[in-house]
Structure 1
Amino acid sequence: MKMQNKRFAATFMNNKGYTAANMLIAFLATTIIISSFAPMLSFFLKLNTRQQDLHPSEWNLFLIELHREIKTSQQIMVKQNVLQYKNQKGEVVTLSQYNDLLRYQVDGKGHVIVLRGVQASHFIPITHGVKIEITSLEGKRFEGTIRDVKGVIPD
């Protein structure tokens, strides 16, 4: 077999053209490549979907952060299912439910989302503390109590 060198390709002199075997190999390779796209696409789409329900670790983190905030605050009160307190800077911080979110506002401006996937929230004043009850979108109930040892929260 003689081989003829061209500038960008090398071809065999005896080949007459594209054969059925070449076509089957190319078809097989194309089919394998295309069929692998569907599982990869579904895998990546599952990674991007966010779980809608409240996770217990989110709840625990929320309670820890809220306890840290309340520990350094003043004039804590619960009214109309809203928790309010003054932080160290003297700003009024409000924690309330907005649609399916639990949000944190400072002096009534803007908001920071502290919990997502909340169906219902209740702030209940107790002796020297506040009890927080949350129901998630899927009906799971979360409860937590924050007590104030300084006596800032009224009886």
Structure 2
Amino acid sequence: MRPHSLSKKRYYAEKSNELGFSLAEMLLSLSAFCVISIILVPSVFVMESSKVRGELALQNMEWDVFLAQTKKELRMSSSVQVQSGKLVIRNGKDVIIYEKYGANLRRRVNLAGHEIVLQNISGASFLRENQTVRIQATGLKGEKYEGNVHSFVAWEDS
């Protein structure tokens, strides 16, 4: 009786094409899945780390541009003061103020305007020593930036 029921099952399986997966097909599918996973998972980590490096490089470039522009402005000024954490520069009739504003450092001319000169900072400090201004900033992730600007022309003391 067994041979008859087995042949009957094969007949229906062949007729309806429902033989199903064999163990070899299942192992082949699992192997393909593992190979794809091994290739994709590390590439996600590589992309993430390159994104972080790119953000840090961009922040460094932004600092360099800010420092260069500030040096130019300080060297053309007639008076420089640090008042309550703000850098106050007098250039002719204009009064230029650099101040921390949220997570940014902004520049204002004659108490008007809102020019963001540095982004993603948690702190900024200014210190004047004779003809030199030291500018320090701390990024949101703790990175430190520091620059010194020296003027060869004497500033007025106001």
Task: State which of 81, 92, 95 in structure 2 corresponds to 1:77.
Answer: 81
Contact 1:77 1:153 in 2 (8 A): no
Once residues 47 and 143 of structure 2 are traced to their aligned partners in structure 1, the CA distance between those partners, rounded to angstroms, is 29
Identity %: 22
In structure 2, relative to structure 1, the CA distance for the partners of 1:145 and 1:22 (3 Å cut) is closer
Residue equivalent to 1:12: none
State the Cα RMSD in Å.
3.7
Query: Over residues 113-142 of structure 1, what are the superposed CA-to-partner deviations in whole Å (9 max), with x where a residue is unaligned?
Result: 325434341x23332343334456638573
Residues 59 and 153 (structure 1 numbering): CA distance in 2 closer, same or farther, change over 3 Å? farther
Change over 3 Å in CA distance of 1:81–1:148 after alignment to 2: same
Q: Deviations over 1:74-94 (max 9, x none)?
A: 443332221122458x54321
1:64 match? 68
Name the one with the larger helix percent.
Answer: 2
State the Cα distance separating 1:72 from its structure 2 match: 2.3
SS of residue paired to 1:85: strand
Letter in structure 2 aligned against 1:64: A
SS at 2:116 equivalent: strand
Q: Which amino acid aligns with 1:36?
A: I
TM-score by length of 2: 0.58
Cα 1:87–1:116 change in 2 (3 A) is farther
2:95 matched to 1:92? yes
Structure (1/2) with the larger strand percentage: 1
Where in structure 2 are there 5+ consecutive unaligned residues?
1-18
Q: Which structure 1 residue ranges, 4+ long, deviate > 6 Å from structure 2?
A: none
- Structure of greater Rg: 2
Amino acid at match of 2:133: V
Which ranges in structure 1 are unaligned for 5 or more consecutive residues?
Answer: 1-16
Deviation of residue 95 (structure 1)?
Answer: 1.0
Q: What's the counterpart of residue 43 of structure 1?
A: 46
Q: Structure 1 length normalisation: TM-score?
A: 0.59
